[in-house]
Structure 1
Amino acid sequence: MKDKFHAYVDIGRRRLLHAAGAASLLGSLPLKSALAQDAWPASPINYVVPFAPGGLTDVAARMVSKALGADKSWNLIVQNKPGGNANIGAAFVARARPDCYTWLAITMTHAANATLFKDSGYDLLKDLAPLAGLAASPMMVVVNAKSPIKTMADLLKAAKGKRQLTAGSSGNGTPPHLTLALYEKLTGTKLTHVPYTGGAPSLTDLIGGQIDVVFSNYPESLAHVKSGALRALAITTHARSPDVPDVPTVAEAGIPDLIVENFTGIMVPAGTPANVVQQASAAVLAELKKPDMQRTLVHLGFVPQPRGPAEFGKYLATEVQLWRKVIQESGIHTS
């Protein structure tokens, strides 16, 4: 009887040791294996927008979050982390756990920041991975409605004249400033850059006649063009906008390489399992391709551009290279 008891004890001990070993093995499995076995998403997704609430990037992120919540029952929480020229929020996501529960809304600003900031706390192309491209908003070249400059040809002639033109922007290194720099590079001209603290004050001074031209964010100047306060010379897209069908594209205006897209997309921490990234990306792209979503984006001033991880990654790398060259050749800095 005693031997039988010891036998039972030995069997129980072996089972416990086996179970402990299995638990230890599971605990040491890489994140990829663990995520492959668990249903994702099993908890809320933190969607970080590195800008203040209310801007176009924030609005687009909230649209995607709402759509995924309605159709997939996913719980996405938009968290605004502005500051540091959008670097604070980006660095936060770059340091997050690579489990696809932390997303970052990025824009053309981040593509430029890769060159503008040497110590931003993260490397855009190494510390973050593309999940999806969403849409892009063009730039629009605008002048005062009373200006004698009526076309891009007039602008070029005036820019090469004796008086140096003044061009406003929303600040050093911002998309309007970079578009101006690209224009100067392509045309061999030099305008006096006047940086403001945002797009709105630059347009206010343009309407007031204090400056000559603004290479403006399309949504910011659209209402002024429609009201007649500003005249649009060109839009930096391949096709004309249905909102302003009379405004020529930059190609039609004679500067085909002045294509500028202030894009928005989603990135996650590098090392996030590819299968989970693909799952999340497919869900986002499915929402972007729906007619109602596309109509809303167009109404806001976006051009829908649904891109998967590989395509968006290639596009982003190209944007980084483009603006690195423009920034370095133009001597642009943020101070």
Structure 2
Amino acid sequence: MLSRRHALALAGASLALPLAARAQGFPQDRPIRAVVNFPPGGTVDTVARLIAPVLSDKLGRQVVVENRGGASGLIGAEAVVRSAPDGHTLLFALSTHAVNPHMVPRMPFDTLADFAPVGFIGGAPVLMAAHPSAPFRTLADVIAAGRVGEGPHFGTIGNGSTGHLMMAQLSTLSGARFTHVPFRGGGPAVQAALGGQVPLVITSTVAVGPHVAAGSLRGIALSGADRSPVHPTVPTVAEQGFPGFAADSWVGVLAPARTPDAIVARINADLAATLADPGVRERLAGIGMTPRAMAPAEFGAFVASEYERWGKVVREHRIISD
């Protein structure tokens, strides 16, 4: 359950804002830092760099992507928390943002109370892919291997990632064992799979999808409720013996708590306009992401629901950091 502090913080940060606020209070003197709390090449980095040029045009100022990776995203997120709440620093957050507090014993910040929700960007399914030399062609092959010894090793972007949680759930549901190899982001995880250092990688279609499409990696299973139009030949986990299984990775934008409402409203409006741009929509769809604009209040409620949802999964499946 959300604490009273969390509920009050979200309510205060996410009030519906009048359109008139768009023209008020927005800083005009320097670029905006878009902090990506994972290394280059992963999901959130790819998405941030894709939309930054158009968002810059909408805002009338340069949006500069800055990678601050490490500790499953905590280092970059903490840097944003400690930044001035003036609209010049934003966090492009991945879905791990809602999971970390359930897995990290001493969080350096409050995931909900220390951020102002700005807007949602989109969601993408997680894709399990294998190195061509690995003996896996179906999810059944992976599970069969997981019933022998320590099971196959799989790489993800880090502890608490959607890929990590997906495999923990599959382990519980199937009785198989898998060995998690956490990396510092999607880029390093995918490179390790391409190089054969791990036989499996599980991360969003944004990061691993192009390599599956190119034939460098073999698609095994998708976490979404439906098949991806970008990877129509890759079956879902639900199709392969686990009905109802679905989990997406997502990207959204947060600001430090106490960022003025007028600034949040302006960025949210221009983010929505960016996501409505036909070129941006086409490019996001091409990497397997479904764009969706949300008002600050809606996005705040979404983050809170993800916090509750994944906290329950972590507790039920006794998932721990590696």
Shared fold (TM-score, shorter chain, > 0.5): yes
Residue in 2 that maps onto 1:26: none
> Which residue of the other structure, out of 101, 104, 110, is the alignment partner of 2:91?
104
> Is structure 2 residue 223 aligned with structure 1 residue 233?
no
Q: Partners in 1 of 2:183 and 2:28 — Cα distance? A: 44
SS at match of 1:69: helix
> Is structure 2 residue 112 aligned with structure 1 residue 165?
no
Residue in 2 that maps onto 1:200: 190
> Is structure 2 residue 247 aligned with structure 1 residue 260?
yes
Taking the TM superposition and a 5 Å limit, the aligned residue runs for 1:1-335 are 38-44=24-30, 45-143=32-130, 145=132, 149-153=136-140, 155-156=142-143, 159=146, 161=147, 165-170=151-156, 171-195=158-182, 198-200=188-190, 202-204=192-194, 211=199, 213-228=200-215, 230-335=217-322
Q: Is the 8 A contact 2:85 2:257 kept in 1?
A: yes
Q: Partners in 2 of 1:182 and 1:218 — Cα distance? A: 19
Q: Percent of aligned pairs with the same residue?
A: 32
- Measured after TM superposition, the shift of residue 67 of structure 1 is 0.9
When structure 1 is superposed on structure 2, of 112-121 and 217-226 the one drifting more is 217-226
Deviations 1:99-130 (A, max 9, x none): 33321111022222122223332111010021
Tell me how large the CA RMSD over aligned residues is.
Answer: 3.1
Q: Partners in 1 of 2:22 and 2:278 — Cα distance? A: 32
What letter matches 1:109 in structure 2? Answer: T
Deviations 1:233-281 (A, max 9, x none): 3211233222221222333334244322221110011222334322321
- Measured after TM superposition, the shift of residue 153 of structure 1 is 4.6
Instruction: Give the helix-richer structure, 1 or 2.
Output: 1
TM-score w.r.t. length of structure 2:
0.78
Residue in 2 that maps onto 1:22: none
| C-alpha distance 307-250 of structure 1, shift in aligned 2 (>3 A) | farther
SS at match of 1:126: coil
Runs of at least 5 residues in structure 2 that lack an aligned partner in the other structure: 1-16
Give the structure with higher Rg (CA).
1
What letter matches 2:68 in structure 1? Answer: K
SS at match of 2:177: coil
Q: Partners in 2 of 1:291 and 1:132 — Cα distance? A: 19
Runs of at least 5 residues in structure 1 that lack an aligned partner in the other structure: 1-31
Q: Partners in 2 of 1:162 and 1:60 — Cα distance? A: 38
Q: Partners in 2 of 1:162 and 1:114 — Cα distance? A: 32
Deviations 1:62-90 (A, max 9, x none): 33331132234233233332233321221
When structure 1 is superposed on structure 2, of 183-192 and 264-273 the one drifting more is 183-192
What letter matches 2:38 in structure 1? Answer: F
Q: Is the 8 A contact 2:58 2:270 kept in 1?
A: no
| C-alpha distance 189-319 of structure 1, shift in aligned 2 (>3 A) | farther
Residue in 1 that maps onto 2:10: none
What letter matches 2:234 in structure 1? Answer: V
TM-score w.r.t. length of structure 1:
0.75
**How many pairs does the alignment contain?**
298
